[in-house]
């Protein structure tokens, strides 16, 4: 299973609805990812470029993409960015494999 960081921003209309009727959106976020065999590891709101952040675990990129597409198609999200997260072990493995690749800079 892979881990993903999802950064999102709500539309002004979504914030208006949440002010009128506060709701813990972690339950919804958890339900969506569980439908594809994944899990929610954390959900936060913050200040700055994005309104919220979620850490998901999903079986594969297609499963995670299906969740992101379902969420964004609802119209409550103004923007979303999802990043595949790699463990330290995966990064070390990639570094080891990269060592054997014979890269040549352009013009050399």
Q: Considering the domain boundaries, does residue 17 fall inside one? A: yes
Measured CA to CA, the distance from residue 11 to residue 16 in angstroms comes to 9
Domain boundaries, position 60 = 2-99
Query: Would 105 be classed as within a structural domain?
Result: no
Per-residue model confidence as pLDDT tens digits over 55-64: 999 999 999 9
Classify residue 108: in a domain, yes or no.
no
51 within a domain of the structure (yes/no): yes
In angstroms, rounded to a whole number, what is the distance separating the alpha carbons of residues 43 and 18? 16
Strands (E), the chain: 2-10, 39-45, 52-58, 77-85
- CATH number of the domain within which 22 lies: 3.30.70.920
* pLDDT higher than 90, residue 86: yes
Residue from 24, 61, 64, 58 nearest 44 by CA: 24
Q: What is the mean pLDDT of residues 96-103?
A: 90
Residue 107 lies inside a defined structural domain of this protein: no
In a domain, 34, yes or no: yes
In total, how many domains does the chain have? 1
Residue with tokens 């993409």: 65
Which pTM value belongs to this model? 0.87
pLDDT tens per residue across span 24-73: 999 999 999 999 999 999 999 999 999 999 999 999 999 999 999 999 99
């Amino acid at each position: 299973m892979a881990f993903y960081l999802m950064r999102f921003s709500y539309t002004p209309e979504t914030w208006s609805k949440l002010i009128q009727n506060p709701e813990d959106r972690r339950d919804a976020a958890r339900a969506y990812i569980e439908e594809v065999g994944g899990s929610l590891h954390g959900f936060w709101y913050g200040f700055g470029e994005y309104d919220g952040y979620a850490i998901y675990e999903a079986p594969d990129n297609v499963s995670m993409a299906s969740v992101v597409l379902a969420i964004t198609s609802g119209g409550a999200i103004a923007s979303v960015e999802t990043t595949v997260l790699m463990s330290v072990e995966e990064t070390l493995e990639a570094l080891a494999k990269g060592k054997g690749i014979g890269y040549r800079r352009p013009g050399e």
